[in-house]
Amino acid sequence: MTAATHSSSFTAGADSADAVLLGLDPEQREVATTLRGPVCVLAGAGTGKTRAITHRIAYGVRSGQLMPASVLAVTFTNRAAGEMRGRLRTLGAGGVQARTFHSAALRQLQYFWPKAVGGEVPRLLERKIQFVAEAGARCRIRLDRNELRDVTGEIEWAKVTQTVPADYPAAALKSGREAPRDMAEIAQIYGTYEQLKRDRGMIDFEDVLLLTVGILQDRHDIAEQIRAQYQHFVVDEYQDVSPLQQRLLELWLGDRDSLCVVGDASQTIYSFTGATPDHLLNFRTRYPQATVVKLVRDYRSTPQVVHLANGLLNQAVRLAGWAAEHRLELISQREPGPDPVYAEYPDEPAEAEGVAGRIRDLIAAGVPAGEIAVLYRINAQSEVYEQALADAGVPYQLRGAERFFERAEVQKAILALRGAARSGGNDPLLDDVVELGSQVRAVLSSTGWTAEPPAGSGAVRDQWESLAALVRLAEDFARTRPGANLADLTIELEERKAAQHAPTVQGVTLASLHAAKGLEWDAVFLVGLTDGMMPITYAKTDEQVEEERRLLYVGVTRARLHLTLSWALSRSPGGRASRRPSRFLNGLRPGSAAPAGRTGGTAERGARKRGRRGPALCRVCGKTLTDAGELKLMRCEDCPSDMDEGLYERLREWRAARSKEQGLPGYCVFTDKTLMAIAEAAPSEEGELAMISGVGGRKLERYGADVLAICAGGEPGGADADDA
């Protein structure tokens, strides 16, 4: 299945439920058609997990097996929930609820509060940092800006792990957390923060989950009412659930098991917020009868990018137990692309300048700026890249900055569009303007927007990019909704505002690796990859270091085609070159040695033994190989063979004799494919024979001398002592 086929969507004109299954690969189809009982989908990066679960829901709805109103799909971001709702509408399952955990819980809390508690629901505190600052002041503890943010994070962690203020120090110590202040001080601030909220009738986002859990635990009648409403659950990004979210899910489910979870333990990067992959990893323990489906066909990235991503996980220090069982070896479905680029620079400004120059070259070659990202470990690294891109005349946007629909210029533009829509075509600005995109451009021109961007960077350019994004959104909306007018567009904008579903600004994205989760670009630059930054200095334990590796893995798998990994040997020009490239790149970047003591899976050890670099390509036509038999031959089944037929027959005769001597089936000596590979390679020495897939160390020791003798035209030496 091609990437184009994979990205195609179901057309509303198709009537049968089976039409929803068209274009799905075998594993996605299994997910879509397994509608009963617990289902666990282990889905690697770029394998089409959202496609699989939305088609699963749509297939159930269209086949009459699921009632739309009885399905609740939950995920972790408004953006992901908005995308899921859009796909479900397209697939004819628009009545299904797709929400974040917090959104679903808040809706239930608001509905049941009068019945369960009485009175009005407390007001929601959207930005808790001011309350934390006030709590610190009341405790006579002064917090600087960074400490304030970090203490707020500690309070959030405590609440999602259901830790009360008095228990925070012990729980934080047990979890090995690096507290930003004395733990007793944080506990004091936490307690005062909670009291402040109670005094003012406020709740925060974590309270939404805690209160909903409390109501469902205490009021069985309300719990049963919710369970009567929602009978089937789908949970995306299940590796990121917190103990509190898991408890809420269990209360929603009751004693039922109509649950489908989707996740990838290799993308667990939020443990500092209380997220844990344990619920995903232990799913089969809780549900022994569960159906488990692995999605490993990567439709996003080229074989070269996928090979590097697999290599990162293969070199992990610990790949035993659950990690090995749940790790997914991705197989690219795309045509080969360029190899990842590794770049070393003398200092950080030189690195930023080099990256900006490479980005400018990509844009000149036709890669849109909006399809390029620069990803770094911490937000403080962005400044030098902002400056370098501005100096190079390359537009950029900061991800994680002010929300799109909260920007003053966007709010002003939406007001202007709403006013023009209310005029019903009597606005003189729109005389003789029919096309929706042109109408939007005309209205925005009245707010000061111009078709050409202003020179340079800064706030003026940022405002222009925001309005340009609105214009592109209108053009895309008009293409998908022929005949739509300004009134339709303003409704769409309000819905997006409610969901925080912002359009893409056409500039290079600058983002932290954490903020990049769930996104993808044609070209990705992973910068600042030095020990101390990746892994970060404060990652002390094995578990923390492995999470850093997973974070880099997430960064690598954001790239579709172009991937550049870079580092600087010093911070400033002329500084001492004391930095080293990230240890995670050892054994992967050219000229580096594999880390000592490294363990790996069977496939990785075999690839290392054979000295193979990059994806496995057919030696005849160059196509990427994925089939095990083809990998042995290092060519496609239907590509012409240069096998020595006489040698192949002599090897078969020898194998028959050896298998008879040992009382074993012939394939236990060597499979047909391995004999064919030997006959094609005709090795003349042990090293060449060892490079052939299917010739392991023990078989090399046992049969190597015989095989080499036959390849040289001689006779095998007979059985060795090991066979007695």
Question: Region 316-324: what's the mean pLDDT?
Answer: 47
**C-beta of residue 338 within 8 angstroms of C-beta of residue 560:** no
Sheet of 39-43: strand order equals 97-100, 71-75, 232-235, 259-263, 39-43, 291-295
Reported as half-sphere exposure (CB side, CA atoms, 13 A), residue 624 has a value of 20
Q: How confident is the model at residue 322 (pLDDT cuts 50, 70, 90)?
A: very low
Which tens digits make up the pLDDT trace of 430-453?
655 667 878 888 888 887 788 877
**CA dihedral angle for residue 625, residue 626, residue 632, residue 636, rounded to 10 degrees:** -40
Neighbouring-strand partners of residue 511: 375
Name the percent of the chain lying above pLDDT 70.
83
Distance of alpha carbon 241 from the chain centroid: 15
pLDDT given for residue 640 in this prediction: 67
The Cα 527–Cα 565 span in angstroms is 6
pLDDT given for residue 457 in this prediction: 39
| Tokens at 5, concatenated | 């086929």
Q: How confident is the model at residue 608 (pLDDT cuts 50, 70, 90)?
A: very low
pLDDT given for residue 460 in this prediction: 58
pLDDT given for residue 4 in this prediction: 39
**C-beta of residue 555 within 8 angstroms of C-beta of residue 375:** yes
Sign for the pseudo-dihedral over CA of 128, 108, 282, 61: negative
Query: How many of the other CB atoms lie within 10 Å of CB of 270?
Result: 20
Name the percent of the chain lying above pLDDT 90.
34
**C-beta of residue 135 within 8 angstroms of C-beta of residue 185:** no
Which tens digits make up the pLDDT trace of 175-194?
878 777 889 999 999 999 99
Which tens digits make up the pLDDT trace of 404-431?
676 778 888 888 888 888 876 556 656 5
| Tokens at 124, concatenated | 């929601």
pLDDT given for residue 600 in this prediction: 36
Q: How confident is the model at residue 12 (pLDDT cuts 50, 70, 90)?
A: very low
pLDDT given for residue 668 in this prediction: 76
The residue length of the chain stands at: 724
Neighbouring-strand partners of residue 532: 536
Which tens digits make up the pLDDT trace of 339-360?
999 999 999 889 999 999 999 9
pLDDT given for residue 136 in this prediction: 92
The Cα 590–Cα 559 span in angstroms is 20
> Which is nearest to 374 in space by CA: 555, 579, 552, 589?
555
pLDDT given for residue 236 in this prediction: 92
Tell me which of 87-91, 270-274, 388-392 is least confident: 270-274
b/e 548-561 (16+ beta carbons within 10 angstroms → b): bbbbbbbbbbbbbb
Evaluate if residue 466 carries a pLDDT over 80: no
Mean per-residue pLDDT over the chain, rounded: 82
Query: How many of the other CB atoms lie within 10 Å of CB of 434?
Result: 7
Q: Are strands 396-398 and 71-75 parallel, antiparallel or unpaired?
A: unpaired
Tell me which of 328-342, 559-573, 650-664 is least confident: 650-664
Neighbouring-strand partners of residue 344: 567
- Using CA atoms, how far residue 431 sits from 442, 467, 475, 597, in Å, is 10, 22, 19, 74
Q: How confident is the model at residue 684 (pLDDT cuts 50, 70, 90)?
A: confident
Q: If you write DSSP's letter for every residue of 262-328 in order, what string do you get?
A: EE-GGG---GGGT--THHHHTHHHH-TT-EEEEE-EESSS-HHHHHHHHHHHHT-S--STHHHHH--
The Cα 302–Cα 615 span in angstroms is 9
Question: Region 290-317: what's the mean pLDDT?
Answer: 89
Q: Which residue has the higher pLDDT, 631 or 492?
A: 492
